[in-house]
Amino acid sequence: MRSVTCTAPVNIAVIKYWGKRDEKLILPLNDSISFTLSQDQMCATTAVSISPTFTEDKFWLNGKEESLENPRVQNCLKEVRRRASKRKFEGSDEDFLSWHVHICSANNFPTAAGLASSAAGYACLVFALGQVYGVEGDLSSVARQGSGSACRSIYGGLVRWHKGELEDGTDSVARPIASADHFPDLRVIICVANAGRKKVGSTEGMKRTVQTSRLMQHRVKESVLLRLDAIMEAIKEKDWSSFCDLTMADSNEMHAVCQDTFPPCVYMNDTSHSVSSLVHQYNDIKESQGSFSQKVCYTFDAGPNACLFVPGVVIDEFMTLLLRAFPPSASQNMNDYVRGHQTQTMPVSQAYLSLLDDECQAGQLKFIVHTKVGEGPRVLDDSATLLDAETGMPKVTNDSA
């Protein structure tokens, strides 16, 4: 038996991928740019084993056995095996490509809730398969065949997914553009307004938008191209204020084209809008003080959950304000409500307190994750595997979050 266990990160796009030019190959209509998040708080873990004693391919997700007939999983598996066919295991004459595979994967955060679970999951699957089959080189184009945004989770820091021009998609790949510490001490706050499965999945939502939204045509042909150039310049110059404005503008535009879709795809809710309003008001005060480098920005993927990027110098101040605006429910303690890195509560000036709604209701957010920007996939030691070293069956079968 040959086994490996890996983890892979979530990534959050600041220039959004929404809409495909080729559904089968998962080729996007425009380039996208993302931050890779730390795996200490949010990641997918995947164990892969291959053995001549296995009688069939098997797959377990979050403790439940799933069918391996999913065409996207099959595409990833076939492409890794195709690349592996060009080489042999070092010192081995075994026909390992004929061995069956066991795959066990789990997320430590909600699945299909607009938190990029598919990106982390497919990036982890492809990276682990690459390790167990001895495949080297760029794997982003393979991960893309599982879930488009998964190609960006193959790398850490800031990553750009190039849409490519070729019909076969071979030039549609992800490339790192800046390290995880490019914007020093940057913090990330995930405000989870709903951890449940979204009503309209991203695949269906994109297809519907491309087919029906006239605003989407304007986005693809004009606005997103200008914004890509502008945000690349902001990254190069480390212009945080411009980066924030461009990030929020692109998030707003993506959700505008979702609303322009027929029937509309509505992903944000009242709590989402309350969070974004608080961010804008907070930034207005910072700008009036000339503190442009202390601005906060939000972005929303296809879901109601806000991802906030917060400079470390104001994390205590902003988190204190956020918790005043969105306190936990009476049944939650603070350790359950705020997960990840801890912050210090501090006095908040009257200028910031004036931003709070007199009718702030506890429990509007389900929980908050405080994390950072992080690196790409990594291999774990054998003690962390999800599969039994002798049988190749899952060690744990209970459901995961």
Domains of the chain: residue spans and CATH: 2-180+380-384 (3.30.230.10), 186-372 (3.30.70.890)
Q: Which of 102, 109, 132, 106 is nearest to 46 (CA)?
A: 106
Q: Residue 359 pLDDT more than 80?
A: no
Q: Please tell me the number of Cα atoms within 13 Å of 208 on its side-chain side.
A: 16
111's tokens: 């699945």
pLDDT at 103 over 90: yes
Around Cβ 82, how many Cβ atoms within 10 Å?
Answer: 13
CA 274, CA 255: separation in Å to the nearest integer?
15
pTM: 0.92
pLDDT of residue 85: 87
Q: Does residue 388 carry a pLDDT above 60? A: yes
In this prediction, residue 348 carries a pLDDT of 86
Rounded to whole angstroms, the Cα distance separating 185 from 173 reads 28
What average pLDDT does the structure give for the chain? 92
Residues in the chain: 401
What are the tokens at 117?
Answer: 């679970």
| pLDDT tens digits along 46-78 | 999 999 999 999 999 888 998 888 899 999 999
pLDDT for res 116 = 61
Q: Please write the tens of the pLDDT for every residue from 325-345.
A: 999 998 999 989 999 999 999
As a whole number of angstroms, the distance between CA 139 and CA 193 comes to 33
Answer for the pair 169, 39: CB distance below 8 angstroms, yes or no. no
Pull the structure tokens for residue 282.
């907070």
Residue 86: pLDDT band (50, 70, 90) is confident
pLDDT digits (tens, 9 = 90+) for 10-28: 999 999 999 999 999 999 9
Distance CA 305, CA 190 (A): 7
pLDDT over threshold 70, residue 163: yes
**What's the CA gap between 16 and 255, in Å, rounded?**
10
Predicted confidence at residue 389, as pLDDT, reads 87
Q: What is the pLDDT of residue 397?
A: 46
pLDDT at 108 (0 to 100): 83
Task: Decide if pLDDT at 113 tops 50.
Answer: no
How are beta strands 100-107 and 58-61 bridged, if at all? parallel
- What phi, psi does 198 have (nearest 5°)? -75, 150
- Residue 111 in this model has a pLDDT that exceeds 70: no
Mean pLDDT across 100-115: 77
| Cα 310 from Cα 250, distance rounded (Å) | 18
Query: Which residues lie across from 45 on neighbouring strands?
Result: 7, 106
